[in-house]
Structure 1
Amino acid sequence: MGNTTLRGSKSSAAPGKSHHKSRLYEDLKHQILTLQLGPDEDLDEPGLCARYGLSRTPVREVFRRLSGEGYVDIREHRGARVAPMNHSTLRHFFLAAPMVYAAIGRLAVHHFTPGQLARLRDTQAQFRQACAAGDVAATVLCNNQFHAIIGEMSGNIYLQAGLSRLLVDHARIGHTFYQSHGARQSRRQELALSQHDQFIDAIAARDEAAIVRITFAHWELSRRNMEMFITLTGLIPDMPHEGAETLSI
């Protein structure tokens, strides 16, 4: 009996390691996108090796893969850290994002498949559910998945690569947006939900002009959230004009 168990363990060792490596990859992505691992935070390589039952080599392979996708920054002789979000990265994000999103939307209306449109509708339903439940992590991930599907619809590998990188920071900024509360924030969230519905309708109608218009309106909402991302931790309570601000939608 003991020998049989031992042989079974040996034969399954390789698939087990592959599974642990995949789980580490997915877990780190999830934790970075939902800010469980914050920007600039060092990744504990020895701790991850122990937790996932992996040697340093596969863990470093995961780091390299995540680095290529924009989640992780690998520094020579200093290990890996979560990709930073500083003035420079945010500036690049806010300059590039509207151009990439608009180009993707224009292609998506011409190249989407019925299956992709069905997935987009399903993701929107999940997004709405997550918003209603106040599940910030699920809301952020559903929002990212929604835009990633539109990227797939474009059928353009170059734009999809750029979108994938943008969505890393899109999620991290979005996490701050969706965890905020108050009537003003609720109106913004409802507007985001409504704009997602408009995306679906424009794509289904193959209306290129509408998708561009909605993309820039949706982007304007995201742009406003940049101020929230920067000031949320300490400046908002000290802004005497905050209560007087009105939302124009």
Structure 2
Amino acid sequence: MGTAEPQAGTPRTVDRKQALAQVLRQRIITMELPPGAVLDEIALSEEFGLSRPPVRELMRQMAAEGYIELEANRAARVASMNYQSLRNFFLAAPLIYIATTKLAALDASATEIADLKAIQAKFRHAVQQGDVDSRVYYNDQFHLAIGKMAHNPYLLPSLHRLLIDHARLAKTFYQPGSQHMQHELATAVQQHDEIIAAIERHDANTAVEIIRAHLELSRRNMAMYVTPEGLDIPVE
């Protein structure tokens, strides 16, 4: 006799649904599932041992978070990313990152800071090992942890959405293959350490200064990718 499939809402189904959510989020932010990729509900149901209703419920949840796009009579797709995404990111990023980092410096607990240091250790290891997917993932987790430390329910949803494209842009533009890029990544690691130190001292002003520099590092490297070194741009 076969084993009956667990009903929606049972502990086994909830655990499998959470596992699917974690895997899908990681596949999207590391670009294993690229922008616009179709999500096969049947394949995902079979992979995680779920019926289709909890998978569809998860799709709606992830669409609300900004990971995927749902349209009537079309399969779910990974959220698109284009020039407008890049522009919107750099318009919104300073506002959100500065606000969450400042509040984190004011409100973070010792336990939260310890958790942030643990994430930073994994980020540093990924950079040292040249593990691009892990680097992107733990950078995402680093800034998300700071957002949670801000304890602000208005800012966290915006940060969640911002981080989706931050991770995907990082995977697109930060491909370490040169001495210059290795230096930039080392600088990013150092800036993370400095942000942690400022938060631990509850020094909001310094934390804000460092996160500004951190964002400028991202902007500069993405601009270098779009405009390769040595290309003369005429100025009118």
Same-fold call, TM > 0.5? yes
Deviations 1:175-200 (A, max 9, x none): 23443311010110011011001101
The yes-or-no answer on 1:42 pairing with 2:31 is no
Deviations 1:169-223 (A, max 9, x none): 1111112344331101011001101100110111112112211111110000111
For 2:134, the aligned partner's letter is: A
Aligned residue among 65, 68, 79 for 1:83 = 79
CA distance in 1, matches of 2:136, 2:5: 39
Aligned to 2:177: 181
CA distance in 1, matches of 2:167, 2:11: 31
Aligned to 1:241: 230
Q: CA deviation at 1:25?
A: 1.3
Aligned residue among 13, 24, 39 for 1:28 = 24
Deviations 1:62-119 (A, max 9, x none): 1111111110111111121001111222221110011111111111111000001111
Q: CA deviation at 1:15?
A: 3.4
Kindly tell me the number of residue pairs found equivalent between the two proteins: 230
> SS in structure 1 opposite 2:172?
helix
CA distance in 2, matches of 1:225, 1:40: 25
Gaps of 5+ in 2: none
For 2:187, the aligned partner's letter is: L
Alpha carbon RMSD of aligned pairs, Å? 2.1
Aligned residue among 191, 216, 219 for 1:220 = 216
Stretch of structure 1 that moved more, 219-228 or 73-82: 219-228
The yes-or-no answer on 1:55 pairing with 2:44 is no
Any runs of at least 4 consecutive aligned residues in structure 1 with deviations exceeding 6 A, and if so which? Answer: none
For 2:72, the aligned partner's letter is: E
CA distance in 2, matches of 1:11, 1:170: 38
Rg larger in structure:
1
For 1:118, the aligned partner's letter is: A
For 2:186, the aligned partner's letter is: E
TM value normalised by structure 1: 0.85
CA contact (8 A) 1:67 1:74 kept: yes
CA contact (8 A) 2:96 2:158 kept: yes
Aligned to 1:207: 203
CA distance in 1, matches of 2:93, 2:141: 16
CA contact (8 A) 1:177 1:228 kept: no
> SS in structure 2 opposite 1:31?
helix
CA distance in 1, matches of 2:34, 2:178: 25
Residues 11, 180 of structure 1: CA spacing in aligned structure 2 closer, same or farther, 3 A cutoff?
A: closer
CA distance in 2, matches of 1:111, 1:87: 36
In terms of fraction of residues, the more helix-rich structure is: 1
Aligned to 1:145: 141
| Same amino acid, percent of matched pairs | 42
The yes-or-no answer on 1:17 pairing with 2:13 is yes
CA distance in 1, matches of 2:201, 2:14: 43
CA distance in 2, matches of 1:15, 1:106: 38
CA distance in 2, matches of 1:228, 1:157: 35
Aligned to 1:247: none
CA distance in 2, matches of 1:45, 1:27: 14
The yes-or-no answer on 1:127 pairing with 2:116 is no
TM value normalised by structure 2: 0.89
